[in-house]
Amino acid sequence: MGKYKAKIGLEMHCEISETKTKVFSSAKNEYSDEANSNIRPVDMAFPGVLPVVNKEAVRMALMASMALNCKQPEYMYFERKNYYYPDLPKGYQLTQETKPIPVGIYGEVTFECEGEEKKVRINNLHLEEDAASLDHYDDFSTIDYNRAGVPLLELVTEPDISSAAEAVAFLEHMRSVYQYLGISEADSKKGQVRCDVNVSIMDANLDENDPQNWGTKIEVKNVNSFGGVRDAINYEIKRQTKLKENNEYANMEQQTRRWDEESGTTIYMRSKVDAIDYKYFVEPNIPKFKLSKKWLDEIKSSLPRLAYKRKKDYIEKYNLSDYDASILVKQKDISDYFEKTVSLGCDAKQVANWTNGMILSYLNSAEMSINDFFLKPEMLKQLIDLINSKTISTKQGKEVFAKVLEKEKSPEEIVKSEGMMQITDTSEIDTIIDEVINENPSQVAAYDPERPKILDYFIGQIMKKTRGKANPSVASKLMKEKLDKIKQA
């Protein structure tokens, strides 16, 4: 261990992308459309218009709160966070302060980082609205209100993270949680995830459970990609370590800095003493409302199993390897496909092999979602059954797979129409063996049971006659028996 250890806390903002409409207006929740096409007067702060809370957004936020093991509120209300910026037409953002409970407090998340189990405590989770988006050009700027009012979930962790790798693993875990809950794509490339990263360092030999021993918190604002989070943390740890070595750390004030993607550095914005006072107060146009126990229970019982749990199940119940299980749960659609096929009565290991092998490589090279994939779980079961019943060989199975996708017909139809059925019927193979023996007297004479190498020649002849359809293990067994008998006679 080095001389210092890092304490890292994240504020992760993630848009809820799966509601139909915005969080306080009936405009469509979709901002990739033409600029300023999905807007209602309330999104532009026209006078006299009133916000209406989107129940679906609250439900999704509560799902997240439950999935993070947070405590949920009994009543909910919103607050105005007052500040001016051109992307904020109202002059305030509707959000929730942490008192008494926003959509959740005091949760805990377990995730994996480099094969180790980690825990991060959640300080709180709250629901708010996104701002409009600004684009800056040489001598003018444009504003698009489509994003104004898009529901945003902000998650605040305790500073339980200790490295850049751990922070990224946590964010990847959270992306998976939101995707599995069906509340957000959580795609940072689409600008749906933005983070503020808080970093400090402390002496490694001190007790990290005592906040008195923590270093000075440096907040890095607006980090918009997971790679940015990693780089910003590593940059700050290095920068702060240098300050420590130069005895410049102890008297440092809390600061807000911003991440500059281009230079890969953090740049000083303001000191905590200049912190903005947002003058929070309760939004008077949204009455405080009660969340019924019945509704909360309904939401709780609707929570899907998340990736972390599914992976554990796959390893424990199905004996899959850690590696196979990890690949299966990476995307919920793939995991659902796997589970559906297994539920039809297939062997989990076989399904995992097909899914992680042929299917994923096909989907990747075709850049296709499994939802658009022609070979549905029912067909994968057919294919596996055809192989298990030895109607076709494993090798033929791969050909059938390709033909199913090419001709858009079921595996059974393909096997029939292509005449791919293996011959396993022993009497049929027997007849062919007799023909081969009659036609090859010198090879029969050369056969030596101690050195059955010449058997390959006979199998070759059988395959020729059946155009490859004889089941090789059945053919080889029968052929050997017959030849041995001839030799004994």
Q: What residues make contact with ligand ADP under the rule CB under 6 A?
A: 7-11, 156-159, 198-200, 214-215, 217
Q: Minimum CB separation from ligand ADP for residue 2, in Å?
A: 17
Please provide residue 140's backbone torsions phi and psi, each rounded to the nearest 5 degrees: -155, 165
Q: Minimum CB separation from ligand ADP for residue 271, in Å?
A: 12
Tell me whether residue 77 or residue 214 sits nearer to ligand ADP (CB atom): 214
Question: Nearest-CB residue to ligand ADP?
Answer: 9
Tell me whether residue 7 or residue 409 sits nearer to ligand ADP (CB atom): 7
SS3 helix, strand, coil % of the chain, rounded to 5? 45, 20, 35
Q: Minimum CB separation from ligand ADP for residue 34, in Å?
A: 37
Tell me whether residue 229 or residue 420 sits nearer to ligand ADP (CB atom): 229
Please provide residue 228's backbone torsions phi and psi, each rounded to the nearest 5 degrees: -65, -40
Tell me whether residue 30 or residue 158 sits nearer to ligand ADP (CB atom): 158
Tell me whether residue 200 or residue 422 sits nearer to ligand ADP (CB atom): 200
Tell me whether residue 107 or residue 215 sits nearer to ligand ADP (CB atom): 215
Q: Minimum CB separation from ligand ADP for residue 227, in Å?
A: 20
Q: Minimum CB separation from ligand ADP for residue 182, in Å?
A: 26
In whole angstroms, what is the distance from residue 468 CA to residue 466 CA?
A: 5
In whole angstroms, what is the distance from residue 123 CA to residue 88 CA?
A: 27
In whole angstroms, what is the distance from residue 281 CA to residue 333 CA?
A: 42
Strands 79-82 and 281-282 come out as antiparallel
Tell me whether residue 12 or residue 475 sits nearer to ligand ADP (CB atom): 12
Residue 89: name the closest of 145, 141, 38, 39 by CA: 145
Q: Minimum CB separation from ligand ADP for residue 215, in Å?
A: 6
Contact criterion met (CB below 8 Å) for 96 and 103 = yes
Q: Minimum CB separation from ligand ADP for residue 124, in Å?
A: 9
Residue 446 vs residues 437, 454, 460, 475: alpha-carbon distances, Å: 12, 8, 16, 19
- Tokens 């299980």 locate to 325
Gyration radius (Cα) of the chain, Å: 32
DSSP E strands: which ranges in 185-290? 193-203, 218-223, 255-260, 265-271, 281-282, 289-290
